[in-house]
Amino acid sequence: MTAPALSLAEARALLLSPLGPVARAGRDSSRPRVSFEFFPPRSDEAEANLWKAVTRLAPLDPDFVSVTYGAGGSTRERTHRTVQRILAETALTPAAHLTCVEASRTEIDAVIDGYRAAGVRHIVALRGDPPAANPSLGGVYAPRADGYANATELTAAVARRGGFEISVGCYPEGHPESPSLAHDIDVLKAKVDAGATRAISQFFFDIDVFLRFRDRVRAAGVTIPIIPGVMPVSNFAGLKRMSAGCGATVPDWLAAHFDGLDDDPETRKLIAASVAAETCARLQEEGFADFHFYTLNRADLVYAICRVLGVREQRVAH
């Protein structure tokens, strides 16, 4: 969702302001809506870290929190358990990821019905990545003959069963397998026609690229909220691996910021937080009022960025 466009006078005031976007964000009385993405734990230690992050971020009253599937649906059962625990032990609104990979239509429909029975009312419908453990696929997605072929078909299946918000993915720089950005936007339009109610973007670092994508999507007639996906990453080597897999560009200026800091994690964290906060503050001034944070099950950076944006604990009056 986006806020109303700035008037000419408001835009002029911003240009003449001695404050930068981060300072202006802190002065702004409006409170953006935020959501947080977690991944299901693979060990007892990882589970403890996850719940530490959930506990730290829950008082910020996010719009929802999403729980991912691993590649190839490899964490399906852990995803279900994590969602159920969020429902049982917190006041948070969970959004469960669901993918097409390695499951029949019957199996996926049963998962959808199970989520509804458990009280889940929001599903993030994604095609999913091929399972790395299956060498016969060679890293290329191949739909099952008895499964849903893509995110559009999956979105339609969730919509048919009714009663869900449906978030889908979008790719400001194009999906790695897409022949063109225009094709990607056509796919997004098809997902909207199938029932999608929100699109969450892949993470990005070039704000102008994201804004041009937003403009093209709107020009194509897509009116659902486009939520910027923000990933404050302090591990630059890990960021390069993730970016290579999803098609997100890592700008030279960002690489220069992290250069020579392999053995300095504290400085890397400061840089990651400042870059993400600046991104969000600038997008806020472009009218964006929602931000989705890929937390990597860590709360510290996301918590700090939310503070910059004016998202703080909801205090109870005495």
Active-site residues, by number, are 37
Token reading at 109: 């429909």
Token reading at 222: 């897509």
How far is the C-alpha of 178 from the C-alpha of 180, rounded, in Å?
5
Amino acid letter, 125: A
- State the CB neighbour count (10 A cutoff) for residue 223: 9
Return the H-helix or E-strand segment holding 279.
Answer: helix 265-285
Burial of 244 (C-beta count, 10 Å sphere; 0-12/13-18/19+):
exposed
Given the structure tokens 């910020």, which residue do they identify? Answer: 60
The answer to whether the beta carbons of residues 8 and 274 sit under 8 Å apart is no
